[in-house]
Structure 1
C-alpha cells in the first residue's frame, strides 16, 4: 500500500507461488455508473504489465464484454474479468456494471470474489453514491467481506478529496466513521485555466513519504517541512483508527502514553484489520498520463490487494448439499480436496459457442475430466422454463478469463477462476462436482425481475426460432425470467429495467437471429356475476341422419372471492338424463374459461342445473355441452358482469427520506398502504396493496423516485372488483380491438 516494501518478484515470484490458493486474490469492483471502474481496471492492468499500452482493455472480459449495443450506448452490461500478476500473486479483477439493471452481474461478481473495491467518483453527487452502493456495502458487511474505497476523478473541477472522504465515512462508516479513513492524501498540481488541478502524486500518511508520478515514473521523496504540519492531523487520526482495530490491546495505551509506534507494526495491524473486514482504507487513483508506464496510485492499490485482502483460504465456502444419498464432505479451499465449482457467468461467443466462467471453491478443475453438473430449478407456476437439471459433462479446454486471447490453462486450482468452453447445458449458478460425489451449492441471491416485456415473433421464421432463443437467453441470465401466460396468451420476459429489456431484445436479434416485436403487456383479468341470473340453453338442429337435441336451464349466483366455479345438479324426474349431467357441466366450465362478456375467465359463481329436455335419439354429449355454454351466455346477457383485476401485495424498502413520496405515489396508483415499519438504520419498509394494472412500470418509477435507493417485492394477493369507469373503458378498448382480448 505504498507504506510497505513489497518485492515485485516478476516471473520468478509467480513460479514460486504457482498452484497455491494463497497466491490468488479475487477482487470485485463495485460502483455507480461513471465512477471509473473500468478505467481503473485498465490502469491496474497497465501498471502490472497485463497490457502493453494505455487504452481500453476491450477484450479483457470473460465473455464478450462489449456487444454492439454496449458500443452504441457506451456502457458495459456484463461482468468482465482481467487477471494480472503482481509481486508473485495472481489478482483476478472482476469489473461489474454500474447500472442497476444489471445487478445480476454484480451479484455474480460478489459470489466469485473474496474482497471488494468500492469505486466512487469525486465528481458525483453524494446521493448518487449512497443510492447506488449502500445496499451492496451492507450485503458485503453482512458476510464480512473485506472492503476498500477508491476515489476517482479528483482532477475534475470543484472536487474535494477531503469532502469525498467525509461522505464515504458517513455513508459506509455508519456508527464508526473512523473505520473509513484515507491512507494517502492527494498531491495536486497547479490549477489550469479550466479549473482542473491535475493529480501528480500521493503522500503516504504512515511513512510521510511523497510518491511523485509527475515524471511518468513513480518516485519517493520526503515532504517539505511545511507539508508535515498539514499531514499530521490526518496521520494521527489514521494511526488511532488502526490501533483501535489492533489485536494488541496494549498498543493504544502505549500510543496515548507517548510511545512511538513503528510503521511496520501499523502496516501489519492495518492489513489484518482490512482482511477481517473491520477497517476500510480510502485510496485514490488516476489513469497514467500519455507516455507514462504507471497510473497514479495503482502501485499502492495493487500492494493493498496483495497485502491486505484475504486469500481464498481465509474466506468461508458456500454451503453445499450432498445428492443421491452421498455423505456430506468437509470442504476447504484445498486443491487436493473434492471438486466443488460454480458457474458464475454464462454467455455465447460467436466463434467458440457457449462460454462459462467458473469459480473453483475446492479441488482442481482439469480438461478432459468428467464432472457432475447440477442446476437449481424454478418450481413456481409459469417458471417451468428453468427446471432442476443434472448431467455428467466432459470438461473441454480451460482458458484464462482474458477475452479473445484464450490463454490456455492446464488446470484451475481451488480459489481461482477459469473459462470453460462448451460446458454442455450448464447454466449460470450450476454446481460442478466430482461425478462420484455429486454436490449442490446453495445459490446466491438474485433480484426478482419485476418489469414485464411482452413479445411476439416478428415473422413465421422468427416464430420457429423463438423458443430456443429465449431458452438460451434465460439460461445465461438468471435475473431474467420467462413466462408463458396462459390467461393472456402472451410470452413475457421479466427484466430488471428498461436497459435490461433493450439488451435482451438486442441479444435475441444479434446472437440468436430472432427478431421480436414488443407489445403492450396484459394483466390477467377475471369476470364474475354482479347479481343472480338465469339462462336457458337450447341446441336443436335437424338435418339428414341424426340431429342434435339438448335443452338445459340454469341459475347463476355470485359467490365470495376465491370460490372458483361451483356446479350443482338439481334436476328432478330425469329431465336431463344422468349420463348428460357431466356434459352440461363440461360445457358450462368451458364457456366460463372463455369468458362471458369481455373474454376473461369467469370465476366465483355457483351454477345450478335445474331443468332441461332431451331426445331419445338426437341427444348427445356434444349437444348438451353446447346447450350448457349457451345457457351460461344467456344468463350473462341478463345481468351486469363485473370485471375483476389482480391486486398485488408489495413491500417497498426505501431510505427514510423517501417514505413520504413513496406513500403518496402508491396512493396515486389506487394503492392502499397497510403499514410501515423500520428495517435497519435509516430504512423503512412500506407495505401496500396495489392493482397490478398500476404497477407495470413500478420498477422504473421507484428507481427514479428514490434515486436508485429503493427496491420492492410483489406477490399476488387476490382479484377484486375494478372501478366501474375503468372497467367500462377496458370494455370499450376491447370492442375496438377485438384481437387484443
Structure 2
C-alpha cells in the first residue's frame, strides 16, 4: 500500500503489529526490535539476543506488548455501561411483562431497576456448561476419572446478593404454573476454564453456580432459568428459539437394550449444554438427534461418548429424510393434453 494513501488506523495501529510479525516471525530483525523495545515498557527486561525467529518469539513479545485479557478488560470497563447504568435500558427488553412500558410498583422490580445488592436476589442463568467440580475446572472433551459429569450455570445477578446454601425459585411463564424451588449449592468465579469458589455474588456479578433440586431429583432439560429469592418473581425472555433448526437428523440406538435409559439421560444433558441441538422422542420409540451439520453431528456424538453417556455403545443411523404425502387439486384434462 502506498504510504501517502494509508489511513491513520493502518499506519498507527496495523503497521506496528505487522512490523513486529515481520521482525520476529519471518526473520529476526534485531535493529527494528531494538527500536520498538525503547518505546514499549513491557519489553524492558527482554533479552532480544536470546530470541530466535518463529511463533514462540512472536507470541512472547505480543503478550508482553498487548496482553489480550488486559486489553479487553480495559476496553470493557472504559466503554461499556456499569450494571447500575445499564439496568433501566436492559430490563424492558429482558422482562417486558414487568418493565414495559414502566416498572411494576413492587419491591422486586424496584430492586432490579436500581441494581440494588440489598434487595431480593434475582439472577438470570443463561447457559449450562459441563464441569469437573472435584478439580474445579470446566471440562474439555473428556473427564478425568470415573466421576459423573456435573453442570454449572453461567448467570448474571441483577439484584440482591446470591449466596451458597440458599433457596431460589424458578420464574414461570404462566401464573398458574406450579412454583419450583432450587438449592444453590456452590458459587464460582470464572477464571478462564478454572473455577474459583466464592461465598457471595452481589448485584452486577457474573458467576457460575451449581444448583440442584431440594428432593435430589435431576434437573430437566432447561437451558436457561430466571432465579428469584421470592415466589412469583419475574421471568426473563428466552434468547433461544423454541425449537432449534436441525439440518441433519439421525436416529441413535443403544447396542444393548439395558443402556437405553443411560442414552436418553445423555441426550438430555447434551440438549441442556448445546442450544443448537434438538432432541425428539418419536412415537416409534426412536431418539432422533438434530444437528446443524455434519461437523456438529460429529461433535455431538463425541460429547455423548466422552461426557454425557460414557460406557454406552450406540449406533448412529444415516441422515433421516422426511417424506410426506399431500393432496392437491388435479388439473383439467384439457390442460393435461394441451401440448400433445
Normalised-by-shorter TM-score class: 0.5 to 0.7
- Per the alignment, residue 494 of structure 1 pairs with 290
Cα distance in 2 for partners of 1:465, 1:189 equals 53
1:13-71 Cα offsets, whole Å, 9 max, x none, are xxxxxxxxxxxxxxxxxxxxxxxxxxxxxxxxxxxxxxxxxxxxxxxxxxxxxxxxxxx
Equivalent pair of 1:369/1:394 in contact (CA under 8 Å): yes
SS at 2:280's partner residue?
strand
- Per the alignment, residue 316 of structure 2 pairs with 518
Query: Larger Cα Rg: Structure 1 or Structure 2?
Result: 1
SS at 2:235's partner residue?
strand
**TM, length-normalised to structure 2:** 0.63
1:428 deviates by 2.4
Pick the aligned partner of 1:441 from 224, 236, 241: 236
Pick the aligned partner of 2:186 from 397, 414, 418: 397
- Per the alignment, residue 417 of structure 1 pairs with 206
1:509 deviates by 1.8
Cα distance in 2 for partners of 1:320, 1:404 equals 34
RMSD: 4.2
1:355 deviates by 1.8
1:479 deviates by 2.3
Cα distance in 2 for partners of 1:373, 1:312 equals 22
Cα distance in 1 for partners of 2:295, 2:35 equals 38
1:435-493 Cα offsets, whole Å, 9 max, x none, are 2342211111458332222222222232232222222221222321111233x753211
Cα distance in 1 for partners of 2:265, 2:82 equals 41
Equivalent pair of 1:453/1:521 in contact (CA under 8 Å): yes
- Per the alignment, residue 503 of structure 1 pairs with 299
- The answer to whether the aligner puts 1:335 opposite 2:117 as a matched pair is yes
1:332-351 Cα offsets, whole Å, 9 max, x none, are 22222332211122133345
Pick the aligned partner of 2:278 from 446, 462, 481: 481
SS at 2:126's partner residue?
strand
Map 1:155-170 onto structure 2 (within 5 A): none
Pick the aligned partner of 2:225 from 430, 433, 442: 430
- The answer to whether the aligner puts 1:308 opposite 2:83 as a matched pair is no
Pick the aligned partner of 1:462 from 220, 242, 259: 259
SS at 1:337's partner residue?
coil
- Per the alignment, residue 154 of structure 2 pairs with 357
1:408 deviates by 1.9
SS at 1:469's partner residue?
helix
Equivalent pair of 1:373/1:392 in contact (CA under 8 Å): yes
- Per the alignment, residue 33 of structure 1 pairs with none
Map 1:265-344 onto structure 2 (within 5 A): 289-290=59-60, 294-296=64-66, 298=68, 302-315=73-86, 316-317=90-91, 318-319=94-95, 321=97, 329-330=109-110, 331-332=112-113, 333-344=115-126
1:604-628 Cα offsets, whole Å, 9 max, x none, are xxxxxxxxxxxxxxxxxxxxxxxxx
Distance 1:196 1:477, change over 3 A: same
Cα distance in 1 for partners of 2:161, 2:35 equals 41
More strand by percentage: 1
Distance 1:183 1:367, change over 3 A: farther
Distance 1:307 1:525, change over 3 A: closer
1:192 deviates by 6.0
**TM, length-normalised to structure 1:** 0.32
Q: Which runs of 5+ in 1 are unaligned?
A: 1-159, 167-177, 204-208, 218-285, 378-387, 527-643, 645-718, 722-741
Equivalent pair of 1:185/1:202 in contact (CA under 8 Å): no
Map 1:614-653 onto structure 2 (within 5 A): 644=325
Equivalent pair of 1:320/1:440 in contact (CA under 8 Å): no
Equivalent pair of 1:184/1:202 in contact (CA under 8 Å): no
SS at 1:397's partner residue?
strand
Distance 1:312 1:201, change over 3 A: farther
1:326 deviates by 10
Q: Higher relative contact order by CA 8 Å / sep ≥ 6: 1 or 2? A: 2
Cα distance in 1 for partners of 2:197, 2:289 equals 37
Q: Alignment length, in residue pairs?
A: 270
1:370 deviates by 0.9
Equivalent pair of 2:255/2:315 in contact (CA under 8 Å): yes
Map 1:98-117 onto structure 2 (within 5 A): none
Pick the aligned partner of 1:346 from 104, 115, 128: 128
Map 1:527-566 onto structure 2 (within 5 A): none
